[in-house]
Amino acid sequence: MNGILLNIDWPFLIEKLVLIAIVVSISLVVAMYTTFAERKVAGLLQDRPGPNRAGPFGILQPLADGMKLFFKEEIIPNFSSKALFVLGPGLAMLTAIMTSAVIPWGDKIILPGGREMQLQIADVNIGILYVFAVVSLGVYGIMVGAWASNNKYSLMGGLRAASQIISYELALGLSLIALLMFTGTLSLKEMVVQQQQGGWGGLLSWNILKQPLGFFIFLVCAFAECNRTPFDLPEAENELIGGYHTEYSSMKLGFYLFSEYVNMFISSAVMVTLFFGGYDIPFLNEANLAVNTAAILGVVAFFIKIACFLFLFIWVRWTIPRFRYDQLMHLGWRIMIPLALFNMMATGAAILFFNK
Amino acid sequence: MQSLTNRFQPVDRSPMTIWEKMYIPAIAKGMGITFSHIFKKNPTIQFPEKTRPFSPVFRGLHILNRDEEGRENCTACGLCAVACPAEAITMEAAERLPGEEHLYREEKYAAKYEINMLRCIFCGFCEDACPKDAIYLSESFMPSDYLRSQFIYKKEDLLIPDPKEDPEAYKKALGNRASQKKQKD
Amino acid sequence: MNIQTILFILLSILSVGSALMMMLSKNPVKSILWLIVVFFSISGHYVLLNAQFLAVVNIIVYAGAIMVLFLFVVMLMNLNADNEPVKNYRLRLIAIISGGSLLLVLLSAFMNVQQANPVLLKTGDGGLIHVLGMTLFTKYVLPFEISSVLFLSAMVGAVVIGKKDS
């Protein structure tokens, strides 16, 4: 047994564990403050101040919300299958957080011991496919919880979620194929490196300029995958009384609501990585700076870009009303998928034409 | 049917044009409208710290008035109870004993004076009926409570602070309304 | 014993155990959930074989799409343990015989297979996306295209069946 323990690269393992802990806690804190930002921005857009009582400017509001949820009574309905009822929110949260493993949060930093540390948990060569795999699992948390609730509204919400997520996953995948055609890699890290090289400190090589239509489709599908308005039919409160989380209370409900925000954060991070240069800072040549400074600036730039996307998510939520279910399906199958296919064909043709 | 206003418009039920089917222009327009609201001043008043100014005719919670020396004005004549359309006021009179002249202005006073705030409609008829300037509707709200019994305000709840002991609280409780009334008379 | 072997044993126990649970659970929804666990452990095996692409595609296609549809259908029909039809004695006998003969065939097939060392397989790169793509589009391009025609025909069939109702 001793041999096994020696074979493991302990500093590597510890480094990765620390990184995982940091990334998970940052995702949770960001998600927490996204709930606050949601209420604050909603206030701004509706000419009111939003929460401002808990702490200065209300910044302790998310803690207060969390405390409230923790101390609420926990109700597990009779006639529900209890194990699955508990599993549902856990799955939702797990799949929401798992995606963060392949996102490059920044360039490498050099630790005091001279050791290089990549600010990415796992640079797998199939990064984007991993994201897809986890996203496609995200629906299980909802479906399992919905079914286990033994409630018609919950079941309706779960079914809606399943069909919606499957429908939009297709367009999501197709929109990305066009992008992958000219990046030629599935690794998110390499995509960022490619986007760093170009005019104006990398700005000209950002994928958004090459794939505006692909980005648009990806954005719409990301809204649908996150169950955000205007695609929040699975939890439509005025038709389904909260949809899949009707029967949930206390922190289990909190997990469902929270996983939505974690999903938002992660999908913003994916969009920034794929289309907006990841941790690339426009108008700045990172090679001129010290490695650590460049990495930290890069992380800050990355989070600023993510914050812009989170604002977009919130802004859209407080502007656009919910789609009707047939409109949703029509948009997904009759508009988004053909559009994505067209985008794919056009990109392929362009690549063939220009590479000759 | 004749319409009340000339603002109504018939609903347009024609099928959507291609431009409308793209949703994007409409979405962009809506997003622009919501975004412009970020820069608008919000009309919220942070309530417990700031209060909205009352109009001069506002009728709030009742107070039982005292004169400048701190003696109760009320003489328990019962005119307010008679005038009250909601029958919210009850009182019991008592005779002023020797040595109580510093407490009550008149020879008769209200030993018990109760207003049921759940019945009261804050019409202000009691104020108009009072010949002794003893009851006013102040500029304060009725606080909420959990029990019905808490809404029957006793004399102690209604009495204004003593102007000799606490002149500032007296002034504040009296508000503008009492002085306006005096001028009118 | 190194770490790969331990992982292999753990994953094998998980996959066989969850496969058994899938067959033994009375409730169809729980069966499906156990089947998803099976797919996950199989994906784990793929990762051990250094075939990350296969592992992820297995999850996307089977666990992410097909099983969601299964779950969808089961939920829509609201199948429960108590409305499962009672199978009669003869049907059970036939099932046992056919299952047993399948087992025999499988056993005889596996007898001839040389036992591979699962740890050694990690060195191969046959499952990586680049190699796999190259092989699929050069050596096996005809079978690949034929299988896509098969999918197309399946889709057309689905559309035809769907049209009939309306």
Structural domains of chain A, count:
1
| Domain assignments of chain C as residue spans, ordered by start | 3-123, 128-166
Give the separation between CA A246 and CA A239, rounded to whole angstroms.
11
| Average pLDDT for C84-88 | 68
When mean pLDDT is compared across A323-337, C65-79, C86-100, the lowest value belongs to C65-79
Q: Which residue of B has its CA nearest to A315?
A: B31
Q: Which residue of C has its CA nearest to A148?
A: C29
Which of A38, A47, A339 is the mutation pick for testing B, counting most B CBs within 10 A?
A47
- Interface partners of chain B (CB pairs < 8 Å, 3 or more) are A
Cross-chain residue pair B35–A318, CB shorter than 8 Å: no
Cross-chain residue pair B27–A318, CB shorter than 8 Å: no
Q: Within 13 Å and on the Cβ side, how many CA atoms surround A25?
A: 5
* DSSP state letters, A29-61: HHHHHHHHHHHHHHHHHTTS--S-SSSGGGTTH
Q: Which fold has domain B62-184?
A: Alpha-Beta Plaits (3.30.70)
**C41, C11 contact by CB (below 8 A):** yes
Cross-chain residue pair A3–C2, CB shorter than 8 Å: yes
Residues whose CB falls within 8 Å of the CB of residue A277, separated by 6 or more in sequence, listed in order: A192, A195, A196, A202, A203, A205, A206, A207, A305
Q: Within 13 Å and on the Cβ side, how many CA atoms surround A157?
A: 29
Residues of chain C contacting A132 with CB distance shorter than 8 Å? 56, 60, 64
* pLDDT for C149: 93
Which of C47, C75, C76 is the mutation pick for testing A, counting most A CBs within 10 A?
C75
Token readout for C27 is 């409730």
* Residue of C52, C69, C75 lying closest to A124 (CB–CB): C52
A60: buried, middle or exposed (CB in 10 Å: 19+, 13-18, 0-12)?
middle
Q: Which residue of A has its CA nearest to B26?
A: A320
Q: Which domain holds residue A257?
A: 2-354
* Residue of A125, A143, A144 lying closest to C129 (CB–CB): A125
Token readout for B116 is 């049921």
Cross-chain residue pair C71–A136, CB shorter than 8 Å: no
Low-confidence ranges of chain A (pLDDT < 50): 1
* DSSP state letters, chain B: ---SSS-------SPPPHHHHT-HHHHHHHHHHHHHGGGSPP----TTTS-PPPPTT---SEEE-B-TTS-B------HHHHH-TT--EEEEEEEPPTT-TTTBSSSEEEEEEEEETTT-----HHHHH-SSS-EEE-S-PPPP-S-SGGGEE-HHHHBPPPTTT-HHHHHHHHHHHHHHHHHH-
* Residue of B27, B31, B44 lying closest to A48 (CB–CB): B44
- Any chain C CB within 8 A of the CB of A169? yes
Give the separation between CA B130 and CA B78, rounded to whole angstroms.
9
- Any chain B CB within 8 A of the CB of A308? no
Q: Within 13 Å and on the Cβ side, how many CA atoms surround A325?
A: 14
Tens of pLDDT along C25-62?
A: 877 888 888 888 899 898 888 888 777 788 888 888 88
**C22, C31 contact by CB (below 8 A):** yes
For the domain spanning C3-123, the CATH number is 1.20.120.1200
Tens of pLDDT along B90-115?
A: 988 888 888 888 888 888 888 888 99
Quickly state the pLDDT bin for C80 (edges 50, 70, 90). low
* pLDDT for C105: 92
* pLDDT for B179: 62
Checking ipTM against 0.95, whether it exceeds it is no
* Residue of B31, B35, B40 lying closest to A47 (CB–CB): B40
Tens of pLDDT along A276-332?
A: 887 877 777 766 777 777 788 888 888 888 999 999 988 888 888 888 888 888 888
Cross-chain residue pair B37–A47, CB shorter than 8 Å: yes
* pLDDT for C102: 93
- Any chain B CB within 8 A of the CB of A45? yes
Quickly state the pLDDT bin for C100 (edges 50, 70, 90). very high
Residues of chain C contacting A136 with CB distance shorter than 8 Å? 59-60, 63-65, 68
* Residue of A45, A49, A316 lying closest to B37 (CB–CB): A45
pLDDT at C118 over 60: no
Residues of chain C contacting A162 with CB distance shorter than 8 Å? 68, 71-72
Which of B31, B40, B50 is the mutation pick for testing A, counting most A CBs within 10 A?
B31
* Residue of B35, B40, B41 lying closest to A315 (CB–CB): B35
Give the separation between CA C56 and CA C65, rounded to whole angstroms.
12
Cross-chain residue pair A316–B42, CB shorter than 8 Å: no
**C144, C136 contact by CB (below 8 A):** yes
Per the rule left: phi > 0, alpha: psi between -120 and 50, beta: everything else, A138 is alpha
pLDDT at C127 over 70: no
- What predicted TM-score, i.e. pTM, was given to this entire model? 0.79
- How far off is chain A from C98, nearest CA to CA, in Å? 34
* pLDDT for A1: 44
Tens of pLDDT along C144-166?
A: 899 999 999 998 998 888 886 65
> Where are the strands (E) in chain A, listed by range?
109-110, 116-117
